[in-house]
Structure 1
């Protein structure tokens, strides 16, 4: 595969970025993805500051390739996390769930490459104003926390491409080489993949959670908790109780009380399949096995190249 603006920006072989997913994306997964030619991200959203530092240091030992840290800007200890990535000289930071203006200039002043995740083209324009280096356009299909706009990837990517000229990464519902080709056809120059990497050998997610995800059929995830922070969930007992509250018009405080503390950890990391918050993307229904991250990347690139070749032959 030829180099493009994403591979050049991040100094990686393939324009494939691993999503920095809470409870899935530790140093093992990040280093495995980076070693295989993509860009691995440590997911700081589920880590205390000292744990983030530990994972960064272990990732440095496990790979000599570029890697980054994904930081949700709504994280309560975000200032401590930012200080750690600066002190540890992390080369790349992906930010999300907040205003890119807040931290971009500070990070860039320390020679850190910054990408920001958006769910709409108006937010992408704010990224340009903030001076970010790349934008991730994440569609409604994605797992975990999502945009309120509920815009699908196929609609969002071309709208963002039309609005800005920054290097563009597509996310949401992408797990294959064919999906990568489709994203590139719409104007993306890279893909960020979460769900497929969450269901790999190196993912720190609980094995029971991984197996539950492999058994999902179409329609068995749904965007929920819209009054708090929209989150795509697997339908289970916890989801049903959320739905009951939402159907009767519960307040955000009532939903917050039900959610409590550590609900995602209970589901994804500890494997409580009924009372846990089980976050995963729609594309999970297409995944049938747990394999190493390197195999995922190798298969995506092989299918990407095969698809590009077959489409080249089909002229109308």
Structure 2
């Protein structure tokens, strides 16, 4: 497992997902201080807000941390300038072409990881020169791949063709899940939903409680014509489902989605009309606890499960 820990200079091959409206400096620094890699989710931040979060994160931890930036972000030039100016050591890019910024970041000795949901895009990112790949299965919360490939099938398929380190994401929120991903060929894991329901997450308390209350089958992947997103079923989702019965155009879907729908749901706590993005693993999340405790418990469970597996009989 040296790959990921050596690459990032961290203790455990456990990365906290850079989630929109959830991943501010408090969460990122708490995960980094606990031995994982914390990520600031820049997608919900104006340029000056990211500067503030990077500065505060540097004060709160002396360990490596990173920033997650979707390529679709309108102020991407400002964000990239902030990352270079403040010497952020690691950047996770997603939702776009990794060729656009990888060479620029690597010129400044910044490690680059790209998030994908298919073998095809994993190979394109490798070709673009990234240091590692996050392969994210259909179970994941938030924005997702159109292929609907599950983590259990995606990881070995990517591993078979990839030459650089591979991080598994989607449906991983326990130590046992982490071990399973490693057995399938991952060098590390990225965990989102479990950290969304942490004390340091910047999400609204009502959204955190909605994650805890979610049961199996309470999330659904929708809005594939725009950008597929996994949501908790609520009043907003029901409106989406009703609109789908009329075979809507992408424009009609955009109109219903409107602006700042995710902010309303996750950051402001509007559980009716907000967009509540979370993964299928929410059915296994039963409490809100400190991020450092989540890391410690996952690693302890990983080690216990590894011992138990070693006792299984040879077949």
TM over 0.5: yes
Does the residue aligned with 1:105 lie in a helix, a strand or coil? Answer: helix
1:249 to 223, 247, 250: 247
Count residues in correspondence. 314
Shift of 1:212: 1.1
Does the residue aligned with 2:15 lie in a helix, a strand or coil? Answer: strand
In the TM superposition, 1:168-207 aligns within 5 A as 168-207=166-205
Structure 2 Cα separation of the partners of residues 57 and 247 of structure 1: 48
- Which residue of the partner structure matches residue 129 of structure 2? 131
- Which residue of the partner structure matches residue 36 of structure 1? 34
Structure 2 Cα separation of the partners of residues 49 and 187 of structure 1: 37
Structure 2 Cα separation of the partners of residues 315 and 100 of structure 1: 44
Structure 1 Cα separation of the partners of residues 274 and 282 of structure 2: 18
- Which residue of the partner structure matches residue 24 of structure 2? 26
1:12 aligns with 2:10: yes
Does the residue aligned with 2:67 lie in a helix, a strand or coil? Answer: strand
Shift of 1:40: 0.2
- Which residue of the partner structure matches residue 97 of structure 2? 99
Structure 1 Cα separation of the partners of residues 77 and 255 of structure 2: 26
- Which residue of the partner structure matches residue 207 of structure 2? 209
Shifted more, 146-155 versus 243-252: the winner is 243-252
Q: Which runs of 5+ in 1 are unaligned?
A: none
- Which residue of the partner structure matches residue 308 of structure 2? 310
Structure 2 Cα separation of the partners of residues 128 and 289 of structure 1: 38
Shift of 1:247: 2.4
Does the residue aligned with 2:98 lie in a helix, a strand or coil? Answer: coil
- Which residue of the partner structure matches residue 45 of structure 2? 47
Structure 1 Cα separation of the partners of residues 140 and 239 of structure 2: 22
Q: Which runs of 5+ in 2 are unaligned?
A: none
Shift of 1:315: 2.2
Does the residue aligned with 2:301 lie in a helix, a strand or coil? Answer: helix
Query: What is the CA RMSD across the aligned residues, in angstroms?
Result: 0.7
Structure 1 Cα separation of the partners of residues 63 and 51 of structure 2: 18
- Which residue of the partner structure matches residue 140 of structure 1? 138
- Which residue of the partner structure matches residue 231 of structure 2? 233
Shift of 1:213: 1.1
Does the residue aligned with 1:115 lie in a helix, a strand or coil? Answer: strand
Misfit runs of 4+, over 6 Å: none
Q: Alpha-carbon deviations, 1:154-211, whole Å to 9, x = none? A: 0100000011111000000000010001000100010000000000000000000111
Does the residue aligned with 1:5 lie in a helix, a strand or coil? Answer: helix
Q: Alpha-carbon deviations, 1:206-260, whole Å to 9, x = none? A: 0001111111111000001111010000001100111111222111111111111
Structure 2 Cα separation of the partners of residues 5 and 272 of structure 1: 41
Q: Alpha-carbon deviations, 1:58-82, whole Å to 9, x = none? A: 0000000000000000111111111
- Which residue of the partner structure matches residue 162 of structure 1? 160
2:73 to 62, 72, 75: 75
Structure 2 Cα separation of the partners of residues 308 and 26 of structure 1: 32
Q: Alpha-carbon deviations, 1:109-150, whole Å to 9, x = none? A: 010000000000010101111000000000000000001111
Structure 2 Cα separation of the partners of residues 93 and 152 of structure 1: 25
